[in-house]
Structure formats: C-alpha cells, structure tokens
Structure 1
Amino acid sequence: MAYEKGQYRLLALDLDGTLLNDRSEISDTNAEWVRHAVRAGVTVCVSTGRGFPSALPYAEQLGLDTPMITVNGGEIWTKPHSLHRRTLLDAEKVMKLHALAEKYDIWFWGYTTESIYNKERWTGDTISSKWLKFGYYTEDVPILDAILAEIRTWDGLEISNSSPYNIEINAAGVSKATALMEVCRMLGYDMSEVVAVGDSLNDIAAIRASGLGVAMGNAQDEVKAAADVITDTENEHGVAKVIQNYVLRT
C-alpha cells in the first residue's frame, strides 16, 4: 500500500521512552512506520537528550540522513556528522552544579563536546572543558527537590528532565523547541507543520510549540497535560500509531 504525507512535513521523535521501548530498542513496528513516513516525504528528526554518539546508531538503523537534535537542543545537526550549531553550558556553572552533586552524594553526569563524565569518572579540568549538559539522578525525591529548588535560583540555566528521577541542565534558552524552530528555518518549514512526540519534561516546550504535540502513553503527567493528543506507550509502538493516525494518509 502506498502512503502519502498529510499536513505535517516534519516528525520530531524523542528516543528514550518514545521511539525506543524499555529495552532501548526500536521495535520492528516503529521502524516499519518510520520508513513509511520517510518514503512518503516526511522529514523524520531524532530529537533527544542523548549525546550525538549514543543517538547516532538509532538514526543509522533507520537510514536517516536528516537533521538531528541532541543533548536537548545543545547541538543541532543538519544531518549525521554535520554539525550546524552548538550551544555551550558555562564551565563555572558546571563547577557549581558538580559541587552540589558532591554535597548530596548522588549520581551525576556531564556531557562535553568530547566525552561523557560521571560520578565514577570526572574530569580533572572542569573549566577548560566545553560543556553541553549536566545531570543529576536519584530516586530520593526530597534530595532531587532540594537540588531543584537550589538551582532554580541561579541564572543562565535551562532546567528539564528525561525521567521523574533526574534533572537535566542546559544553557538558558536551549531546548528541543528552540532547536526545532532552527531546523524548520533551515528546511523552510513552519512549526505548524511539525509533529513532536515525547514523554518527559525536556519534550514539553517542543510539544507546545509544534503543530501537533503528542505525549506517549507512558509520559509524565505534565507532558500529557501539555499535549494535543496522547498515543500508546513506548512498549505498544506508540510512535507507529502517531504516524498511522496523524502523519500519513492512504
């Protein structure tokens, strides 16, 4: 059966909890429907909190040669390996964020343009590194809330999450939404022609800014409240359902 694209020209897909199931795999059903969308002329854009190296294999698996948004919009790629724009997180702020993680003795990580560091392996030279994102993880919610309350009083940070138990920090103004706007400018699309699909707080701005904002069935409640529609969960091929129901027509 041949499919045609409808009113939407760009499909922006989060990875974890969205395109990927809980085993971090793209289901055969999701992969099949993404390929249907690509063949119909829809631009499929990976839009993730992951860094480029860990996002790339999924784009390659789907055969995508289209723009990518990584580290929550800290990097925008015109296509895999072709960097369009990078927005760095101030190194002195990373030092403060790191000190806070040490104070509470919880898991943390940071992405530079060169590597990923974490509690088990931290750089010896924070100031000289080019930082993209910093994150905290703990299932001790009162500690997470205390950190959130503290860093919300600081300037120059964009704060989100990719799970209920983490906090993700980029430079102020960096989000999947602003990155999607830049991708649309590059391609000559309007944001009204975008479908954005996601499950976490780092997806909310993009879901609100797009022509159709879709929350996964497994999404956080705030994300569901912000979305136009809710699809099935990541283990029920929710992305495939979005493509079938809203992106393509026969």
Structure 2
Amino acid sequence: MEYKLLALDLDGTVFNSRKEIDQETIQAIYEFKERGGKVVICSGRSPLSTKWVSETLRLDDPIIAYNGAVIQEANGQVLTQAAFSQKGIQTFIEACATFNVYGHLYEGNTLLVPERNRWNENWIENNIPALSLSGGNKESCERFRRNCNVQQIDDLVEYTDKNTPTILKFAAFRKEEDNFQEFTRYLSGMKNEFEVSSSLNYSNLEISPSKTTKGTSLNMLIDSLGIHMSEVAAIGDNFNDIDMLRLAGLGIAMGNAPSNVKAEANMVTATNDELGVAKAISSIIKG
C-alpha cells in the first residue's frame, strides 16, 4: 500500500451519530491492518477513553489522546506527555471567571469541575461509551468507567496552586456569545501557553499546551516508527483535526465536516452516518 499508517479521529469520524462504530468501518480497519498498515487513534478524548476504543477494536498500535498531549502504547503505557505550566493553568481559570465562561480541567483521567452542570453531568458515560453494537464488552466497559472520576473543586485556583496537578487539557463552553468570542481571542493570543481549537464548530473550545496538536504528536510518533509523513493518511471531521490533515500525505475530511475543514483536506469522503471512514479506507487500499 502507498500509505503505511492511518490516523483516525473518533467523534464525528469513526463514531457514527449514535456513538457506535459501524461493522463496515471495523472490517475496513481490519483489512488495512491485514495489509500491514498501522492504525493510530488520534482523538481529543482522554487516554482511558481512547484505550477503551482501541481495546474494543482489538488494535495494537500506539494512541494519541487529548489532541496530542498524550502518546501512549495500546496497553496504556505513556510514551510522551505535554502538560500546562502553572502559569497557564492559573491564567485559564482566571480568564473563565473574567469572561463568564464555564471551563473544566483534565487531570489524567479525572475531570476537575468548579460546579456540576449539563457540560459534565454525564461525562463518565460519554467518556467511556458503551459501544454495545461495536463489540464492546459490558463488564470491560464498567471496569473502564470505574477508573474515570469527576471531581468538583469549589476553588480551582486554590486547588491547583496547592496541589500543582498535571493538567493535560482544558475545555471551555460558552455562556454568553460576546464574552466567549472575547475569551477565545484572549487565549488565542497567548501562543506561548495555549493551543486553542474546537471539536464542535466553536460552540466549545479545546485547549492544549502550546505547540501541542494532533499533527505535532503524529509527526513525533511516526519519527519513532520510521515512517515518513508522506506515508500517512489521516481522517478527521473538525477544527482540531486540521493540523494533522494538512501534514499527512493524504488528508481526508468527513462529509459532515465544516467547509473550512474540508478546504484543508486532499479529499472528502461520505459522512460518519454514511460509512465515510470505510469508504475512505477502501479507496486507500485500492490506491
């Protein structure tokens, strides 16, 4: 095959709108593997969530989680990790208060929240989806969910100052449109601390440590595997996928991707409810 490695986003890409993986997609992934290719999950999801998907699909290749902040082996062993500075953590928390934005922090596989609300109430179930139609084992799913935690911290500034936690990702959600746009501009201007992106068409923000993206981590990973970026095909659907779509030898946007994302890709496949990933893999295999 022309491409030795396939980098796959999950939400809106491998997952259909029911948060399941179609059997045709699973079979296409297996066929790519059988032909000697590597399949690397590249997701904004947590290390545990991505490991759960990898295990369900019986993959054995490394995984990129938290939009590039973590590269791990299939067994969960962390290879590299990028964390925020203490200054960056405090700046984010204070900016959320200043601009009246809801934000939460990811410490390993624990979600740190300042309050319980609609953006975090079902986080464990969403982080570890059942995948019951995709081959997910119920007992294994429950085991993974027991290793997730949502911790309410009334004073995040005090907590992070006292405990100096290793924070790998921030997420922010709009309460007021004008304030959210100002908040986005403010954080985006701090290039030495933050990499600001979105996975939901800018109705929320996903914030990584500076110079940390799916693309930068994919580049780091393939270097260690002796693969050139020209030999990589990447499939994604949203703004946090743009960097890896640009860098890959073949960048493929999903049919459900925003037009700005499609414009950055080499080709566009069908939507995630129309077997877009399976169809893209088929075209890759056929060359």
Fold match by TM threshold 0.5: yes
Quote the residue 2:166 is aligned against: 130
Quick check: 1:206–1:213 contact (8 Å CA) kept in 2?
yes
Count residues with an aligned counterpart.
Answer: 244
SS at match of 2:160: coil
- CA RMSD of the aligned region, Å? 1.7
Q: What is the Cα deviation at residue 183 of structure 1?
A: 1.3
- Partner amino acid, structure 1, of 2:71: I
Quote the residue 2:138 is aligned against: none
Distance in 2 between residues matched to 1:203 and 1:167, nearest whole Å: 13
* Structure 2 CA distance for partners of 1:40 and 1:69, relative to 1, 3 Å: same
Distance in 1 between residues matched to 2:208 and 2:251, nearest whole Å: 22
Distance in 1 between residues matched to 2:60 and 2:210, nearest whole Å: 29
Q: What is the Cα deviation at residue 56 of structure 1?
A: 1.6
More strand by share: 1
Q: Does 1:194 align with 2:228?
A: no
Q: Which moved more, 1:221-230 or 1:149-158?
A: 149-158
Distance in 1 between residues matched to 2:54 and 2:73, nearest whole Å: 13
Quick check: 2:69–2:82 contact (8 Å CA) kept in 1?
yes
Q: Does 1:53 align with 2:48?
A: yes
- Partner amino acid, structure 2, of 1:178: T
Q: What is the Cα deviation at residue 73 of structure 1?
A: 0.5
Distance in 1 between residues matched to 2:254 and 2:200, nearest whole Å: 13
Q: Does 1:86 align with 2:122?
A: no
2:195 equivalent among 152, 158, 166: 158
Quick check: 1:68–1:80 contact (8 Å CA) kept in 2?
no
* Structure 2 CA distance for partners of 1:176 and 1:65, relative to 1, 3 Å: same
Q: What is the Cα deviation at residue 204 of structure 1?
A: 0.5
Quick check: 2:46–2:109 contact (8 Å CA) kept in 1?
no
- Partner amino acid, structure 2, of 1:150: Y
Percent identity among equivalent residues?
31
- Partner amino acid, structure 2, of 1:131: I
Q: What is the Cα deviation at residue 169 of structure 1?
A: 1.1
Q: What is the Cα deviation at residue 140 of structure 1?
A: 4.6
Quick check: 1:66–1:80 contact (8 Å CA) kept in 2?
no
- Partner amino acid, structure 1, of 2:95: L
Distance in 1 between residues matched to 2:258 and 2:232, nearest whole Å: 21
Q: Does 1:177 align with 2:215?
A: yes
Quote the residue 1:3 is aligned against: none
Distance in 2 between residues matched to 1:143 and 1:26, nearest whole Å: 37
Quote the residue 1:69 is aligned against: 64
Quick check: 1:91–1:131 contact (8 Å CA) kept in 2?
no
Q: What is the Cα deviation at residue 55 of structure 1?
A: 1.6
- Partner amino acid, structure 2, of 1:108: G
Quick check: 1:14–1:198 contact (8 Å CA) kept in 2?
yes
Question: Where does the alignment leave 5 or more consecutive residues of structure 1 unmatched?
Answer: 1-5
Which deviations, in whole Å up to 9, do the C-alpha atoms of 1:198-231 show, x marking residues without a partner?
Answer: 1111110100000000111111222111000011
Distance in 2 between residues matched to 1:227 and 1:140, nearest whole Å: 32
Q: Does 1:34 align with 2:34?
A: no
Quick check: 2:54–2:74 contact (8 Å CA) kept in 1?
no
Q: What is the Cα deviation at residue 114 of structure 1?
A: 4.9
SS at match of 1:147: helix
Q: What is the Cα deviation at residue 53 of structure 1?
A: 1.2
Quote the residue 1:168 is aligned against: 206
TM-score (norm 1): 0.92
Q: Which moved more, 1:111-120 or 1:184-193?
A: 111-120
Q: Which moved more, 1:118-127 or 1:219-228?
A: 118-127
Quick check: 1:195–1:212 contact (8 Å CA) kept in 2?
yes
Quick check: 1:107–1:118 contact (8 Å CA) kept in 2?
no
